[in-house]
Structure 1
Amino acid sequence: MVSIAAIYLRGYLVPETPELTKRYLPEYILTLFGKADAPVPSTDVAFDTVTFLERNGVIEDMGDDVALTPEFKRQLGATALEIDITTGMTAAAADLLDVNPDRVSFVGEDGSWRVLVDKSIRGRWESRAAFVADLAAYQELSTWTDEWALVPEAARGQTLSAIRACLDFCPTCGGTIQLGTELVSSCCREYEVVAATCTECNARLFEMNAHAVETAE
């Protein structure tokens, strides 16, 4: 099992396949772990996500990997299972978005997951499982550390994404996460993506354009 964090540290996409990390990971993920050539361009907020997560015992450096700490991983898994029912997910989503639960609805289509508020799309996730992972991480951080309340709004999504990048299990079925590349077709072109997918339920936990960041010469 190789996590996205392991890909970053080892410089490999999958075992025995020496592909440069910078080809596959977007700049904000590279920056989280110190590999980017420049600061994150997507936010004006100065916030060190890795330091925050390490200081609060959410992730740990394993030498050749970055992983969730055993206790946080256990807690996140338990919370995800509690959320993974319609009413639980609706309440958790309403808390995340700070709206009344009656205003929240969901649409699943071709594996992707959309969250709507008053029938308008508020966000898109790779799958229901990916959304549950972020909801569980949000709830856990809210009780895990008082510092979460101080994290700038612009940095919260990035922090949740960093935690999801470290997952080695599916938050809804408990299956193993496998990484690989595949071609995706749109109406007029094909493009390669790198994806983290559950081997049991086939839920997509993470996906990004493989060529979003050019390989350094």
Structure 2
Amino acid sequence: MPFAYPPPMKLKSAIVSIALSLTGALALAGPVLTNQTVKLVADQDGGLSAGISMTHKLAGLFTDTYVLSGVQSWSLVDGILRTAGSNKQDIDFYSASINGVSFDFQKSNRGANIDFDELGMFSESLLNGPLVLTISGRAGEGWADGTKISATYSGTVNVNAAVPEPGSLALLSTGLLALAWVGRRRSAGRATGQ
């Protein structure tokens, strides 16, 4: 019996088949993107605070974005991020920032794991709302993308109203009074023709 070739695919079917194949490949290769809105709540110090926590269930790159709601003006912002774990619990931070201002990371080891504990500190910075926290990294370092894991990080963001120091207010007041005095003196000099 002679070999029979399958009937040729129609062009539309071929394009759909290729598109589905590429979509499946890209789903495993691309980073996981998470977008969340987190409400800042009043804390005991009179400021606002938000706790965040994320558990990634699959190994691979990630970018998590948090919009911190409740701030629409200039504020003093600080924060902390932390992860601790190895193997399938490992998170490696690549970067983290709030409105483009970066966290500073420190890594410490435990045994052979050179980055078991990662701590990100966001020093107090004056930022204008809305605040957007963006964290990127890799979950399950050393494991193939798509491998089931359970890697968690957590953190806190604190927001305080940008209240000027009393000394700054006194200096501003003195400067405004001096400008008013000079302006009044000049207008008085013009009125007398001097």
Q: Which has the higher contact order (CA 8 A, sep 6+)?
A: 2
Q: Of Structure 1 and Structure 2, which has the larger fraction of its residues in strand? A: 2
Larger radius of gyration: 2
Q: What TM-score comes out, normalization by structure 1 length? A: 0.19
Q: Of Structure 1 and Structure 2, which has the larger fraction of its residues in helix? A: 1
